[in-house]
Amino acid sequence: MNCQRHNFPTLDQCCQALAEHIVVTAQQCVAQRGRFTLVASGGSTPQPLYRLLATLPFAHRMPWSQTHLFWGDERCVTADHPDSNYRLVKEELLAQGLLPTANIHRMVGEIPAATGAANYEEELRNFFVSHGDEAITWPVFDLILLGLGSDGHTASLFPNSSALNEKTKWVTATPPGVLAPQVHRLTLTLPVLNNSAEVIFLVAGAKKKTLVEQIISHRQGQAEYPAGYIKPQGKLHWYIAEV
């Protein structure tokens, strides 16, 4: 794993650079394999990033017809609920109609969590098998976006959660964490996140600065925070906005 950090004074500047990174990566993946599998992160920080990807020049440079969009986690609410991670991406990106409907792989949060997790894992397995990865143990996403909660969680892997020890499932359901919204969640598991070709954290705000430094500098032993367990076999980038 090689870890690179990219610091920016503002979230807008950070998202401009990250949008460029995503477009270039998407073009390379499509040129090499004819597809780009992107995992969206939740929370509010990525809102300007999703909006940028849906506007010129990025919207015209992204290979949307070969891009498949997935989610790293979802709150167990309806798709139009204010807390839905899908809703944010729909409003900022999907509403522009750039992605074919078949390329949008939503986590269904409005059904019982265990069922939603099992269904999503089946959808992932079907996708990767139908795209030539028959005998895989873990999926290899091209790029996974992650956020960082103020308690050090990422996706919906919360501190002290049993989901952190999941070694076989691709997707699991987790009970509410301490932070709002305190609802059940669906989340990709650590083996899936760490099997990715590339993981990018997008973090903003002075309040998370110390937490980011603690996580990035952690080298040995048990990680103190769930985000510290993200050590992908591929590349790891931290896109950090100071404010």
Which residues lie near ligand 6PG (CB under 6 A)?
41-45, 73, 75, 85, 147-149, 153-156
Tokens of 111: 């059904």
Residue 180 C-beta: closest distance to ligand 6PG, Å: 9
Residue 202 C-beta: closest distance to ligand 6PG, Å: 8
What is the H or E stretch that residue 113 is in?
helix 113-130
Tokens of 55: 């506007």
Residue 172 C-beta: closest distance to ligand 6PG, Å: 14
Q: Which is nearer to ligand 6PG, 29 or 40 (CB)?
A: 40
Q: Which is nearer to ligand 6PG, 85 or 161 (CB)?
A: 85
CB closest to ligand 6PG, residue no: 147
Q: Which is nearer to ligand 6PG, 53 or 66 (CB)?
A: 53
Q: Which is nearer to ligand 6PG, 66 or 84 (CB)?
A: 84
Q: Which is nearer to ligand 6PG, 62 or 145 (CB)?
A: 145
CA distance 206 to 190: 27
Q: What's the Rg (C-alpha) of the chain?
A: 17
CA distance 18 to 237: 10
Tokens of 141: 């996403």
Q: Which is nearer to ligand 6PG, 109 or 139 (CB)?
A: 109
CA distance 186 to 122: 14
SS3 label, residue 104? strand
Cα 187 off chain centre by = 10
Residue 45 C-beta: closest distance to ligand 6PG, Å: 3
Residue 97 C-beta: closest distance to ligand 6PG, Å: 25
Q: Which is nearer to ligand 6PG, 37 or 85 (CB)?
A: 85
Residue 26 C-beta: closest distance to ligand 6PG, Å: 21
Closest CA to 153 of 236, 69, 72: 72
What are the residues whose beta carbons fall under 8 Å from the beta carbon of 204, sequence distance 6 or more?
A: 11, 14, 45, 240, 241, 243
- Bridge partners of residue 171, in order along the sequence: 188
Looking from the CA of 140 toward its CB, the CA atoms found within 13 Å total 13
Residue 33 C-beta: closest distance to ligand 6PG, Å: 27
